[in-house]
A and B are shown apart, each in its own frame.
Chain A
Amino acid sequence: MEGEETRRFDRQTLFRYAAAAGGAGVLAGRTGIADAMRSISLAETGRLQVMDWAGYGNDGGQSMFASYVKTHAANKPQFTYMTNESDALAKIHAGTKADLFRPYVGWVKYFATSGLVQPWDPSQISNFKHLNPFMVKAGQYGGKQYGIPDDWGFDAILYRTDKVKPASNSWGLIFDDRYKGKISWFDDLNMLTVAGLYLGFKNPWNQSDAELKKSQDLLIKKKKNVRLIWSSETNLWEAFGSGDIWIAYAWPNDWVQMKNKKLKVAYMRPKEKPIAWVGMFMLLKTSSRPKLAHAYVDAWSSTKSAKWLEDNYGYGHANTLARPASSDLLKALQLTNPRAVTEPAAHLDRDIPRRATYANLWEQVKAS
């Protein structure tokens, strides 16, 4: 049905432009006709193609882009889901025709230099001025705005206060031998970064071969303590909520969810600092609907959408005007502190120059 509406609209649009061109011809002669014809060629038609994560499309995330759908009913978003950036990269190379997609901040440089994306024009995003300046800066490369920040959160440690007594506020808790079989890690190459942070390396995002070896050895050695390596939050909630695990590499929303289950939990900010992640909308170079993509991102960036995201998904939003109803979430995300995602409060996630090596080493940890 939507396809039919789109086709009908396209014909109507064409007739309208044709009428405009004809009318303009009568009123302004040949110049007017040329302008009108140019507007036809510049018109963006069809449904906006969005590649995004599950939960951010028509499967529950509709409120985030409701204002876009209202004003662009003929160009409703059509979603392709990505399971991670690696998956998105494969899909793009395989020919998926998306207009925009959402990698996380650590991939901004990779995609900006890949030739696959183009910079945004912030002047076309009315809500851009409300976005956290530190996150906005993290979306830049070479002075251009390649990423528009929206959802964000921390990587830190969630634990049961009635079962676990941390020796110190440290990432070391997710390696602690005392809690063998009760620990959960996150299935991501960032585990090597965390190991590097714990081992005190200068730049955990760009470790030398010797440092990477030490980080990998630590993970392989401590894997015996780990019961589950989670890859989706529901996976984590299920295991943590049922008491199968007591300590987890987790996001702020996971803490809120477990509190809601009446579990005695704390969300530790380790002394090595949490890692902040930020979702970045990126505009693909092959997009034939850049204006629509800007409008879509503008809808996502509004204060109303931001508050909805915080209230319903428990993630932070880059819009600094938004405040969640939950004071717990406000506290966990430190939403009153605009510098919460950056030094000295946290390490903002960043480019990993040897990402393929990190990925390979992490896969080996899982396979070991």
Chain B
Amino acid sequence: MAWLGVFFVAPIVIVALYSFNVYTLFPGPHGFTLDAWHTVAGSGIYRHLFWKSIEMSLIVSISIVVLAYPLAYYLALSGTRRKYVLLLLLIAPFLTSYLLRVLAWKVILGDQGVINSFLVWTHLRAPEHPISQLLYSRFAVMLVLAYIWLPFVALPIFVALENLDQRLLEAAGDLYASRWRAFVAVTLPLSLPGVIAAFFFVFIPTIGEFVTPSLVGGTGGYMYGNQIVDKFGAGFPDWETGSVLALFLIIVVAILTALFSRFLQPQRVAAE
């Protein structure tokens, strides 16, 4: 509790005090005001940016859950002896630097990168008309985020599936349930806590992402997290507005987590 108080609650309280101008970067007169909150609430630009980030995070989270599920299913339930070797192979790239992995995508996605060069080589695109949306775009951010977060999605689903009571599947088979029916009625509901946990492992951190967008996002991939960073450290310090933006993000994430936390309780879901 003390740890949580010092390293989580206290910093949030300090940020809140900045947002109300009770604390300020600059010396001189200051006092409680809701000005920054009013500014953010009345700004269509911030709202637009927030929804854009939510949309991007949702697309990333849902896409990789859909991609990772069959992968985790195969690893956990196919009965292959090499499942831990395959699992290790899946997470192997993540033993290298985050920055290096993101930068590697630049080599692949650039106008003269691997993909565009291949398309030119196969005469599918003219050299002067590469697919420029591959890099410095919203797509590039979502692709790289999906790649970066894939293991964080695959592992919880893998654990959920591996802990599945195999006897339930056998029972479904004894009752003449087809494999698909057994999957829908048994496997999927019981693995749902893992799926939901995996979804949130990705959705929550990616809403506030700013490193990946700043490396591969260009103007189109600029996210809500970038705006928070810029408010604190670029142009001219505006810690008041930056704090409001940060707190708003925390509040939204907290509400979402509370709403879906019941899915993180396996026994309850299983009972239903």
Residues of chain A at the chain B interface (Cβ within 8 Å): 83-84, 86-87, 89-90, 93-94, 181-182, 187-189, 223, 226-229, 231, 238-239, 242-244, 355-356, 358-360, 362-364, 366-368
Min Cβ gap A225→B in Å is 9
- From 39 to 72 in chain B, residues with beta carbon under 8 angstroms from any chain A beta carbon are 43, 45-46, 48-49
**Count of A-B contacts judged by CB separation below 8 Å:** 92
Size category, B interface: 20 to 34
Known pairs A188-B235, A223-B219; list 8 more (Cβ under 8 Å).
Answer: A90-B237, A227-B132, A227-B219, A242-B106, A244-B112, A360-B236, A360-B241, A363-B234
Chain B 220-251: CB-based contact to A (< 8 A → 1; otherwise 0): 00100011001111111111010000000000
Min Cβ gap A89→B in Å is 6
Closest 3 CB pairs of A and B: A359-B235, A359-B236, A228-B218
Q: Are B219 and A242 in contact (CB under 8 A)?
A: no
20 contacts between A and B (CB under 8 A): A86-B236, A90-B25, A94-B25, A181-B132, A223-B219, A226-B218, A226-B219, A227-B218, A228-B219, A242-B111, A242-B112, A244-B111, A355-B235, A355-B236, A358-B236, A363-B227, A363-B235, A366-B230, A367-B45, A367-B227
In the complex, what residue of chain B is closest to A352 when comparing beta carbons?
A: B236
Complex contacts, A360 vs chain B, CB 8 Å: 235-236, 238, 241
In the complex, what residue of chain A is closest to B235 when comparing beta carbons?
A: A359
Q: Are A86 and B235 in contact (CB under 8 A)?
A: yes
How far, in whole Å, are A189 and B231 apart by their CA atoms in the complex? 12
Given contacts A86-B237, A87-B233, A358-B235, contact A368 B48 (CB under 8 A): yes
In the complex, what residue of chain A is closest to B128 when comparing beta carbons?
A: A163
Min Cβ gap A71→B in Å is 35
Q: Are B49 and A239 in contact (CB under 8 A)?
A: no
In the complex, what residue of chain A is closest to B137 when comparing beta carbons?
A: A227
Complex contacts, B26 vs chain A, CB 8 Å: 93
Q: Are A238 and B106 in contact (CB under 8 A)?
A: yes
Q: Are A363 and B230 in contact (CB under 8 A)?
A: yes
Q: Are A366 and B227 in contact (CB under 8 A)?
A: yes
How far, in whole Å, are A229 and B217 apart by their CA atoms in the complex? 10
Min Cβ gap A129→B in Å is 35
How far, in whole Å, are A189 and B235 apart by their CA atoms in the complex? 6
Complex contacts, B46 vs chain A, CB 8 Å: 367
Q: Are B48 and A90 in contact (CB under 8 A)?
A: no
